[in-house]
Amino acid sequence: MAGPLTGRQALVTGGSRGIGRAVAAALTAAGATVTVLGRDRSALEGVVAAGEAHGFATADVSDRAALRAAVAGMERPVDLLVANAGGAVSKPFGRTEEQDFSAMLGVNLMGVVNAVQAVLPGMTERGFGRIVAVASTAGLKGYPYVTAYCAAKHAVLGLVRSLALELARTGVTVNAVCPGFTDTDLVATSLDRIVEKTGRTRDEALAELTRSNPQGRLVRPAEVADAVTWLCGAGAGAVTGQAIAVAGGEV
């Protein structure tokens, strides 16, 4: 059956797990032809085997040449880009080294830049495109012990807002979704770290992470994917330059 995104080619970076995988599944369900991109080939193959995407490509988003080559190798030009790949380093600011900032900017900011630059010429030529960056509430506010991550995510929102204005008359929209703490492997790792370093129980660690969410829970990946899918649709054509928080009212 045809869906609202039938005929559209989507690329989801960081698409092998967590929010990226949920986005891939949602776009596929909406009728898009979805390619997931990441570094773990076996995990990407699993997404395709589960019917949550149609194909995959392997590349590190911080490697501009590799990402461009992966996009060039796709059978169809990209109409919908979801720049989801990211990572976090948690350290006190005094122990956060230059390489930590470089790593966070490399994956969280330049990963978006590289992906956009790889697909944008085709979008503007065809007069249609949807670009959605998966940022974070860390792009809208500060959190302690993740200064490099917050700085990178704030930079992503600056990129989104500026690029949206630059492309406003081209048919290409540029937006961001900003999830709060979400039920993903990344957050599970953070919980493990809190338990290890503080001696708290896992329930206590989870309560600490969800304390800032007025709903008192982790966001579900499917909830983020639903917002992304809407932004990719025809009805969101007048929505651009926005940073939409999916965070239970935290922001």
DSSP-assigned states of every residue in 85-122? --------GGG--HHHHHHHIIIIIHHHHHHHHHHHHH
User: How far is C-alpha 68 from the geometric centre of its chain's CA atoms?
Assistant: 18
Q: Which residue blocks in the chain are alpha helix, DSSP H? A: 18-29, 41-49, 64-72, 98-104, 110-126, 147-166, 185-198, 202-210, 221-232
Residue tagged active-site, from 56, 149, 181, 230: 149
Q: Which of 82, 140, 78, 85 is nearest to 109 (CA)?
A: 85
Q: Is the CB of residue 232 less than 8 Å from the CB of residue 131?
A: no
Q: Is the CB of residue 58 less than 8 Å from the CB of residue 41?
A: yes
Q: Is the CB of residue 79 less than 8 Å from the CB of residue 128?
A: yes
Question: Is 149 labeled as catalytic in the residue annotation?
Answer: yes
The rounded distance, in Å, linking the Cα atoms of 245 and 208 is 20
- Report, as residue numbers or ranges, the catalytic residues: 149
